[in-house]
Structure 1
Amino acid sequence: AGLERMLSVLQGVDSVWETDEFVELLAAASRLTGVAHGADPRTDVSLRILADHARSTTFLISDGVFPSNEARGYVLRRILRRAVRHAFLLGVDEPVMAGMVDAVVEVMGPDYPELVRDHAYVRDVVAREELRFRETLRTGQNILDQHLARLEAGEALPGEIAFQLHDTYGFPLELTAEIAAERGVAVDTEGFAAAMAAQQERAKAARRVATGADEGPWAELLDEFGETDFIGRDEVSGTGRVLWVGEAGVVLDRTPFYAESGGQVGDTGVIRTDTGEVRVVDTRYAAPGLHLHVVEPIEGSIEVGQLAVATIDAERRAAIRRNHTATHILHWALREVLGDHVKQQGSYVGPDRLRFDFSHFEALTPDQIEAVEDLANREILDNAPVRHFETTMERARELGAIAFFGDKYGDIVRVLEAGRHSVELCGGTHVRALGDIGLLHIVSEGSIGSNIRRVEAVTGLESLAVLRRAEGLVARAAEAVGVPPDELVEGIEKRLAEAKAVRAELEQLKRQLAAAQAPRLAAEAVDGVVVARVDELDRDGLRELAVSVRDQPGVRAVVLGAALEGGGVALVSAVTPDSGLDAGELIAEAKKTVGGGGRPAPDLAVAGGRDPERLDEALDQARAAAGLTR
């Protein structure tokens, strides 16, 4: 029957909306929106959606779900965005969901202490998601309104339009359908699905072209010989039989070469037979389970059926191992510092660096980056052993292994225990002990999408290289400033202060020189109006000179222009109170000519522009505006 329906009976009310919990949440929704519950059936629906969805959103985020475009995160995003849209329908321009979270925590926190614990975090996530979606909502709804207005009676909204809103503007199909339904308009969902399928097929075709997946008899090879036997977890060299040779590469029945997957790049190295040798520049999956060695032109010949010795670049693989295991330690450290909402969203593991994408709602502070680095490196220095083994999915769950929601796993999975804290499913290659990773150093952190952050890091010898480059830059900078490296900051500050003092002195001299020009420029006045080009000054100096010229006897208006040293144009117009002229009007056309603008003012107007080549033309326009002819 449902808990809330049972509660309605126990409390003697006719609806779940009249139970004590929802009465308080609806009151909060009314307070935040300024719309009374019970005044209008249509607004009641929106208020109830706000109350219900705020409760769902609060619990989901507290349980570790994060707004995203996949799996549970997408369900949460849809719930949250539907609530925001109904606040929008109620005419509320200001964010309301953070306030609704407060109400949920106040009502339900005593019985669910985790809500109180996570209150600030949930509030922050909801507030950020609402702000972003309100921008999407305004843009998408305006475009949708335009298309709906063009439809004839009974005509459905074309699926291509719905897909464009989804693909270009991030406007969900469900929201498009809901808005259209409110206007009595259907959405061509089949057309939407067709447009989506076409886009996916274009993407697949592009991937096939990039990987060469359309070439070669992969299905036949798999049917006859089965999947490639990968021996590269324990060996860097091994013997295999050549199954296929073509322009796309070479296929062996067994190989130590790791095929690119799970973010880890493919191995490189050499394949040799009695009659030829070839350099492997990449290793990919030609088809699931079938390793394709992408090769340079063959020296000699390699024939199907020959035995071949396949040897990977062991030094490169060792660097890849370090970086791959480091991503797992980094994941653990990020979750420790930022919270359990952090989930891996993608990665790149190469020999030179690692990249790790994860769910988080704001930029990491320098202190947080430092804390993650410290935690990860302490774990690495502990030098705990790394275990990489196959087990059942059930046993992996018992061990607490982190899996990616939505990914498909078989009954047998590969688990990585990286030290004492990190346990995840992973099929890549890894070090034997954490100390093998060496120093882990984060080199950058930034956003790559809504609620998705990216860190890049280096390990081992690359960390040493980064340190040496940094030391080299410090040494060169110290030499340029003329101080020891340890005194670089103080030396730079001293030089900057000296440069600032020199610039100030130079500007003062320029202004004194400009002031001395005022009488000369005033002497050139025609009918009390001065229009001149003065290129030696910056914008502030030009303004001061214009005021100085205006204040000279016999001058009632002045317009000065300058081509600025750093590029661009400055125009200044100044008039006396009894001139009968408007400073803004004098340069109204001139500022357009030089490609700029500025706020008009009747007594003193300043404008900027981008086109110094048309400055003389602009000054002629100012003369005409003042009633002068050249």
Structure 2
Amino acid sequence: MAADRRPAGRIQRLGMADNYWSMGVPGPCGPSSELHYDRGPAFGPEGGPAVDGERYLELWNLVFMQNVRGEGPAKEGYPIVGELPARSIDTGLGLDRLAAVLQGAGTLCETDLLAPTLRLVQELAGRPYPGRDGGEESLSFRVAAEHARSVAFLVADGVLPARDGRGYVLRRLMRRAIRHARLLGVDDPVLPSLAGSVVDTLGQAWPELERHRTLIGRVCAAEEEAFGRTLRQGSRLLDSAITAAHSSGSAVLPGRTAFELHDTYGFPVDLTVDAARSAGLTVDADAFAELLEEQRRQAHQAGRERKGGAVARRDLYRDVVARHGLTSFVGYGTTASEGRVVALLDGSGPVPEASEGQEVELILDRSPFYAEGGGQVGDTGTVRTSGGAVLEVLDTRPGLDGLHVHTARVAQGAVRAGEEAEAVVDAARRDATARSHSATHVLHAMLRRVLGDHAAQRGSRVEPGRLRFDFAHFAPVDTGPVQTLVNDYLLDDPGVRAWEATRDEAEAAGATAMFGERYGDRVRIVDIGDASRELCGGTHVGHGAQAGPVHIVGESSIGTGLRRIEALAGADALRHHDHEHALLAELAALLNVPPDQAPARLRQRLDLLAETRRHLDALRDAERAALARRLADGPEQLPGGWLISAIVPDTGDLRTLAADVLARRPRTEPGAVILGTRSGAKATLVAALTDATSGTASSLLREAAAALGGGTGGRGPIANAGGRRPERLDEALGLAARSARDLLTP
């Protein structure tokens, strides 16, 4: 402290809540030693960091990683359940905070790292930054500037907006920045220009920002547009809810309304609170919090139930591994091998044998069957035992890492644990799968070449002759150039090589790893020429040309920032091509032109058809107008008004005809129009009333609807009825006309 220069007097112990670091979940943790800088009385009172964290700014810390924490919130003092086998020290210096101290800046946003972006916020808002003591307004300036920087770096690092994971964190940052810009009165798109300012300021020090400038701008623009749609839709729903609250005399907006806007439409709850406050309402925050907590509880409970069954099954597999060891997989080099049945499992657990027709999980000590993983489906095939049993392998998947579990149906005889067996993979299916897998790797490489490194794999499904590839991108992709690149590359017949290395060696060699996948200390790498190098445990072709051709059959969005390509490979692609060629030939024959002229001739025919339909619609409109004039000219005069009732030809829209007739009569006189028509096996009635007529149109059709064997629809001055008894239409029209006469006769 300023008054006490002794080192001991400048040391404070803040306890576990403030000086004990963890990841926020059970795992490594340890006490933290922090170095703070006193920025002087202008920033707050004396007393050290325990009194004021703004004045005494943390610059550096040392975390002594030595313990393991258990469950429990940090502020409540989570339990320490053990010690790490090896201790370490994690240290870090805050660049922003050091810059603030060296430059005498009031806030981190006023340093030269962020000041240009903060100035741009002021320009867009049309008002000056009020300084660090400006309350909520000052906060909005800082959030818009700082979040724009975070957004730029995240996108440059390959993160795109998504509904979960790190993409969800990015989306929250983007939408919070946009939200605070709106609070400052900036209604035009703001995020692309703010992120561009970040690139201008920091692009020289961080070249990846400059390399991805265009991507950053496009992602920001797309997300801001999407958030704008969310705000517009949510605002309409919120306005309706506020109107309903006012109509009911309530001063509180229901918590369920706020929750549905938040959960279903992604509408920020703080926006709901602000809008309600402006309308003189409060939001039932307790009900909102209760619904949010209930949602979390249900999700947690569902997860626990799913996890419970999986854990029980894993325990069975662990017991198998403990007794017999892991599966020796020999499938990279062969599709047939000898082995021994080490275990048979059914739904309840281990069984000594399985008989004909029974489905079991078969575990061999040695297997050529690939277990589903890395997007590739598991192998199928046949297992024959020394006891004469024949099993059809329906699928293969990993029970645990290194344990192959074969889902099999006993086709013949009975299989017993301990028997010797011959395992044979369906080689044709395996080859078709390998073609798809190699094609997927090349597709991934060419997408990154065309779109950029951000177009990284986010999931895949590799099946015999077919593949599905999910990747990060923010806009539709023209797949034509991508398909050409893939096929040209495969046609050059690049070599395919699989090799093993440590994870560090693989990363140093530039191997691509799929985000979210788990890898061991030693990994398998697959090279396809010089374009593709990926960590992969799947099966592949021997040469690139064996994977082609590749035909892309679809490209679509599967969520914000995520695209999906579906494609065929090898013989399946050729069969698809033959099928499309046959369709084109059939179409050309129907149009009586050569195949290359079929599209132009079809467009010509479609244009002619559209023109014909326009003429037909015009004729129908003219006929309907003429019929409406004839009907309007001859009403039945009643003591209290007029009535027009008739059975008319099917005009396609009886309600429109009735409204047209009504429009040709004086609206200030009581009157009714009742029209009926037959269309195939159905009869329809429509009733319409003028504004001066008391009662409802539907009341005129109740008896008529019953006669037709149907019901009524519509409210107010126009209604309709229908049924499957067209032979009773005359009777139904008479009943409706009688009801109208009763209504119009005082």
TM-score between the two structures when normalised by the length of structure 1: 0.78
Question: Deviations for 1:462-487, whole angstroms, at most 9, x for unmatched residues?
Answer: 00111121122223333334444333
Among 481, 498, 518, the alignment partner of 1:371 is 481
* Corresponding residue for residue 329 of structure 2: 230
> Where in structure 2 are the equivalents of 1:110-509 lying within 5 Å?
115-133=209-227, 195-204=298-307, 214=313, 217-247=316-346, 248-274=360-386, 275-364=388-477, 368-500=478-610, 502-503=612-613, 506-507=616-617
* Corresponding residue for residue 192 of structure 2: 98
Equivalents in 2 of 1:245, 1:334: separation in Å? 44
1:508 Cα deviation (Å)? 5.7
SS at match of 2:464: coil
Among 515, 518, 536, the alignment partner of 2:650 is 536
* Corresponding residue for residue 148 of structure 2: 54
Question: Deviations for 1:483-502, whole angstroms, at most 9, x for unmatched residues?
Answer: 44333224323433554455
Equivalents in 2 of 1:589, 1:175: separation in Å? 43
Equivalents in 1 of 2:580, 2:400: separation in Å? 44
Comparing 234-243 with 538-547, which one deviates more in the overlay? 538-547
Question: Deviations for 1:423-469, whole angstroms, at most 9, x for unmatched residues?
Answer: 11111111111101021011111122222111110000100111121
Question: Deviations for 1:289-316, whole angstroms, at most 9, x for unmatched residues?
Answer: 2212111124112222222110000000
1:562 Cα deviation (Å)? 7.1
Comparing 478-487 with 288-297, which one deviates more in the overlay? 478-487
* Corresponding residue for residue 25 of structure 1: 117
Q: Is the alpha carbon distance of 1:551 and 1:221 closer, same or farther for their aligned partners in structure 2, counting shifts above 3 Å?
A: closer
1:510 Cα deviation (Å)? 4.5
Equivalents in 1 of 2:527, 2:560: separation in Å? 31
Give the conservation status (yes or no) of the 8 Å contact 2:317–2:400. yes
Equivalents in 1 of 2:740, 2:662: separation in Å? 23
Give the conservation status (yes or no) of the 8 Å contact 2:499–2:526. yes
Give the conservation status (yes or no) of the 8 Å contact 2:556–2:564. yes
Question: Deviations for 1:113-142, whole angstroms, at most 9, x for unmatched residues?
Answer: 654553332122123323444666785997
SS at match of 2:407: strand
Comparing 259-268 with 59-68, which one deviates more in the overlay? 59-68
Among 115, 139, 145, the alignment partner of 1:45 is 139
Equivalents in 2 of 1:455, 1:206: separation in Å? 34
Q: Is the alpha carbon distance of 1:304 and 1:569 closer, same or farther for their aligned partners in structure 2, counting shifts above 3 Å?
A: same
More strand as a share of residues:
2
Equivalents in 1 of 2:326, 2:454: separation in Å? 37
Equivalents in 2 of 1:221, 1:449: separation in Å? 40
Q: Is the alpha carbon distance of 1:82 and 1:542 closer, same or farther for their aligned partners in structure 2, counting shifts above 3 Å?
A: closer
Letter of the 2:301 counterpart: A
Comparing 499-508 with 563-572, which one deviates more in the overlay? 563-572
Letter of the 1:331 counterpart: H
Equivalents in 2 of 1:419, 1:174: separation in Å? 53
Letter of the 1:124 counterpart: R
Q: Is the alpha carbon distance of 1:523 and 1:59 closer, same or farther for their aligned partners in structure 2, counting shifts above 3 Å?
A: closer
- Residue 77 (1) aligns with residue 135 (2): no
Give the conservation status (yes or no) of the 8 Å contact 2:677–2:685. yes
SS at match of 2:580: helix
Letter of the 1:250 counterpart: L
Equivalents in 1 of 2:421, 2:260: separation in Å? 52
Equivalents in 1 of 2:620, 2:324: separation in Å? 84
Comparing 108-117 with 562-571, which one deviates more in the overlay? 562-571
Q: Is the alpha carbon distance of 1:224 and 1:161 closer, same or farther for their aligned partners in structure 2, counting shifts above 3 Å?
A: farther
Equivalents in 1 of 2:532, 2:369: separation in Å? 26
Equivalents in 2 of 1:493, 1:310: separation in Å? 56
Give the conservation status (yes or no) of the 8 Å contact 2:393–2:406. yes
Equivalents in 1 of 2:225, 2:118: separation in Å? 22
1:166 Cα deviation (Å)? 8.4
Question: Deviations for 1:362-415, whole angstroms, at most 9, x for unmatched residues?
Answer: 222xxx210110111111111111111211111101110111334332210111
1:161 Cα deviation (Å)? 12
Comparing 25-34 with 322-331, which one deviates more in the overlay? 25-34
1:590 Cα deviation (Å)? 9.2
Letter of the 1:433 counterpart: H
* Corresponding residue for residue 152 of structure 1: none
Question: Deviations for 1:297-353, whole angstroms, at most 9, x for unmatched residues?
Answer: 241122222221100000000000000111111111111112211111111111141
SS at match of 1:297: strand
Equivalents in 1 of 2:270, 2:658: separation in Å? 60
Letter of the 1:390 counterpart: E
Equivalents in 2 of 1:585, 1:106: separation in Å? 70
Equivalents in 1 of 2:627, 2:220: separation in Å? 61
Give the conservation status (yes or no) of the 8 Å contact 1:230–1:256. yes
Give the conservation status (yes or no) of the 8 Å contact 1:549–1:558. no
Structure 1, unaligned runs of 5 or more: 150-157, 177-181, 575-580, 601-606
Give the conservation status (yes or no) of the 8 Å contact 1:84–1:134. no
* Corresponding residue for residue 153 of structure 1: none
SS at match of 2:313: coil
RMSD, aligned CA = 5.0
Equivalents in 2 of 1:34, 1:256: separation in Å? 70
Q: Is the alpha carbon distance of 1:538 and 1:172 closer, same or farther for their aligned partners in structure 2, counting shifts above 3 Å?
A: closer
How many residues are aligned here? 594
Letter of the 1:271 counterpart: V
Among 517, 522, 525, the alignment partner of 2:635 is 525
Q: Is the alpha carbon distance of 1:411 and 1:47 closer, same or farther for their aligned partners in structure 2, counting shifts above 3 Å?
A: same
Equivalents in 2 of 1:254, 1:285: separation in Å? 14
Equivalents in 1 of 2:557, 2:380: separation in Å? 31
SS at match of 1:302: strand
TM-score between the two structures when normalised by the length of structure 2: 0.67
Letter of the 2:327 counterpart: T
* Corresponding residue for residue 31 of structure 2: none
Give the conservation status (yes or no) of the 8 Å contact 2:698–2:715. no
Equivalents in 2 of 1:114, 1:362: separation in Å? 21
Q: Is the alpha carbon distance of 1:402 and 1:372 closer, same or farther for their aligned partners in structure 2, counting shifts above 3 Å?
A: same
